[in-house]
């Protein structure tokens, strides 16, 4: 918790810092990368920088954390910290890099707010930063220790043994281990970071959900092509789609991610849209592998039946479960005789289906989809604690849940 000295200072300055936090985050990143461009080589994804998502995520996290210190000083925001810590560990972040972030962030606060940042104000926000940083460092140390790895050893080389063209713009890659070192088993819903060298020689990371349960030798993930190649946002998916073939080597991190399927006897409802099907496919694969007897309902929204990624895999896995059903919503009317389950036209409306009582919910898809579905579930009486969600890229929605 904040010290008695800093608490009133943060209470007084939080509104003005919150008002300018996005500009602070924008200048922070610009200043840091100008001073240390090497951070964009293997650690930070420049696509997230180019479209502003990373800046927005940082701004939301800092503002949310400071607000919680003021409003709930005796509580630790585990949800916020866990989401960030898993992402950091999947990138191989080390504790010493927090000092770099601190120095440039404090510079940006002074640069934006000017003379308003008195020594007392600077000291209070310095305390906020190190409270958050030290909590994250401890969580990340625990994650590294749990898998007996370090920031340097989370990476290993895998060989591509199969490419599956799932849809026009989605390809699955099956990779095989290339040595006999122990492989950390993945949990249902987790992701790996792939690190590739771009045409300009810079290494870039990107996270992809694992879409099948491990078999000890292989891992599988699906990549949707991101269009708009004039920006860095689509460079990873373009490289994977165009250049990575069977026989090529790829570098992957150990699996991480805090949105993990809990093994209970309660009914399970998964709601996804587009490429958000990928963690759901991984969860279904784990359920089949474990011989689960749970009632499982998959709700999926997409542009059309043809654009539904991993459709054959998830349909097959649902058929293997004791009680698995699929409901779909397509913007284009479903084809007659389609195999994607009960189909509705338009955007997903959970009131179209009868949801099981006392279910656990997992959501993944674009932010508007997540907000719409979660709001509908809450309005329908589903407790917030029973709804988990996964966001691809920086989590711009995180602060809304605190």
Nearest to 171 by CA among 101, 61, 275, 280: 275
Q: Which tokens in the block code for residue 83?
A: 């989401």
Asked if 140 is an active-site residue, the reply is yes
Question: How many distinct helices (H) and strands (E) make up the chain?
Answer: 10, 12
| Residues 108, 77: Cα–Cα separation, whole Å | 25
Burial class (CB in 10 A: 0-12, 13-18, 19+), 237: buried
Q: Which tokens in the block code for residue 376?
A: 């509908």
* Choice among 140, 235, 360, 390 that is catalytic: 140
Nearest to 239 by CA among 197, 291, 177: 197
SS3 of residue 193 by DSSP: strand
Residue-by-residue DSSP string for 311-351: HHHHHHHHHHSTEEEEEEEESSPPPTT-SSSEEEESS--GG
Q: Which residues contact 62 (CB under 8 A, 6 or more apart)?
A: 21, 25, 128, 129, 132
Asked if 361 is an active-site residue, the reply is no
| Residues 315, 331: Cα–Cα separation, whole Å | 20
Q: Are 311 and 282 in contact (CB under 8 A)?
A: no
Distances (CA, A) of 145 to 98, 137, 148, 227, 261: 19, 12, 5, 38, 22
**CA Rg value for the chain:** 22
Q: Of all helices (H) and strands (E), which one includes residue 20?
A: helix 6-35
Q: Are 175 and 219 in contact (CB under 8 A)?
A: yes
Active-site annotation, residues: 98, 140
């Amino acid at each position: 918790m904040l010290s008695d000295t800093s608490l009133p200072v943060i209470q007084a300055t939080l509104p003005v810092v919150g008002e300018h936090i996005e500009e602070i985050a924008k200048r922070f990143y610009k200043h840091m990368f100008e001073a240390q461009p090497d951070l964009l080589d293997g650690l930070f994804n420049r696509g997230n920088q180019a479209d502003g998502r990373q800046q927005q995520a940082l701004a939301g996290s800092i503002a949310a954390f400071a607000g919680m210190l003021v409003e709930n000083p005796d509580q630790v925001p585990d949800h916020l910290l866990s989401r960030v810590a898993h992402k950091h560990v999947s990138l191989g972040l080390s504790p010493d890099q927090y000092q770099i972030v601190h120095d440039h962030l404090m510079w940006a606060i002074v640069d934006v707010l000017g003379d308003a940042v008195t020594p007392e104000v600077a000291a209070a926000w310095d305390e906020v930063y190190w409270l958050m940083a030290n909590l994250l460092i401890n969580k990340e140390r625990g994650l590294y220790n749990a898998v007996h790895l370090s920031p340097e050893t989370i990476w290993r080389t895998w060989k591509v043994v199969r490419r599956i063209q799932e849809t026009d713009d989605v390809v699955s890659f099956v990779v095989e281990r290339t040595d006999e070192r122990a492989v950390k088993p993945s949990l249902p819903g987790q992701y790996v970071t792939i690190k590739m060298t771009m045409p300009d020689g810079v290494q870039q990371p990107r996270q992809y959900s694992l879409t099948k349960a491990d078999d000890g030798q292989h891992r599988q993930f699906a990549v949707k092509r991101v269009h708009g190649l004039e920006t860095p946002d689509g460079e990873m998916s373009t490289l994977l789609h165009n250049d990575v073939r069977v026989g090529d080597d790829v570098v992957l991190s150990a699996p991480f991610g805090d949105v993990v399927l809990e093994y209970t006897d309660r009914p399970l409802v998964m709601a996804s849209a587009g490429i958000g099907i990928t963690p759901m496919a991984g969860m279904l694969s784990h359920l089949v592998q474990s011989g689960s007897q749970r009632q499982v309902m998959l709700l999926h929204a997409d542009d059309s039946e043809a654009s539904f990624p991993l459709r054959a895999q998830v349909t097959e896995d649902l058929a293997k479960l004791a009680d698995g059903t699929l409901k779909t919503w397509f913007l284009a009317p479903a084809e007659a005789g389609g195999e994607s389950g009960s189909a509705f036209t338009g955007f997903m409306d959970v009131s179209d289906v009868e949801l099981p009582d006392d279910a656990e919910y997992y959501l993944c898809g674009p932010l508007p989809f997540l907000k719409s579905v979660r709001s509908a579930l809450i309005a329908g009486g589903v407790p917030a604690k029973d709804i988990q969600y996964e966001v691809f890229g920086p989590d711009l929605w995180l602060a809304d849940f605190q």
